[in-house]
Amino acid sequence: MYIKKLIGTQCYLAPLNIEDAEQYAVWLNDMEVTENLQLISSIIPVDGERELLKKLAQDHNYGIIDKKTNELIGNVGFIDINHLHRTAEIGIFIGNKGYWGKGYGREALSLLLDYAFKKLNLHNILLRVYDFNQRAVACYEKVGFKKIGEIRDGLTRNMEYHNIILMDILPADFYEANPQYKVEK
């Protein structure tokens, strides 16, 4: 059973469940899933994933759950939150490939960003994406992220160099791209 923390139309975000460690380990050892993640070169045992989930559960990281089936499909959360400067870095992945390209990632990001701006009082949220992951770049731009730079040749994948695109979002960017989340005054 999942606890509904942030609820959208297609999915909801739930606090991480340690019981999902095996599912995460399966996804994070799938080369197709991790092609766009830093974890591609890691070996993720179930026990290691269980320990990581315990740690991540304390820092605003959530399971992405399909609203109709209550099935875990991925993860979204913050890698680093700095409350003094009101900044954070965000990460997301959809592990269940049957849900790729169907808007779940966009909605999960939007739910977490709205929460971050309204409840956590964050102001600037950064993400990193590899230049070959154009599907993700398009998703992030739809949510309101702006490209702010690149780390040139910052990644070697398949014996080729790739840039790491840096993107960020401010509340004004998010609510302009997602007026349905704006608070009416």
Least confident of 37-41, 105-109, 123-127: 37-41
Q: What is the pLDDT of residue 177?
A: 97
* Exposure class string for 29-56: b at 16+ Cβ within 10 A, else e: beeebbebbeeeeeebeeeebbebbeeb
Average pLDDT, the chain: 93
Extents of the domains making up the chain = 6-179
- Residues labelled catalytic: 140
Q: What crossing angle do the helices spanning 46-56 and 21-28 adopt, rounded to 10°?
A: 110
Which pLDDT value is given to residue 148?
98
Q: Note the pLDDT tens digit of each residue in 126-165.
A: 999 999 999 999 999 999 999 999 999 999 988 999 999 9
Q: Which CATH superfamily, name and number, covers 6-179?
A: Gcn5-related N-acetyltransferase (GNAT) (3.40.630.30)
pTM (global) more than 0.95: no
Give residue 117's pLDDT.
98
On the question of pLDDT at 38 being above 90, the answer is no
Token pair for 107: 């909605």
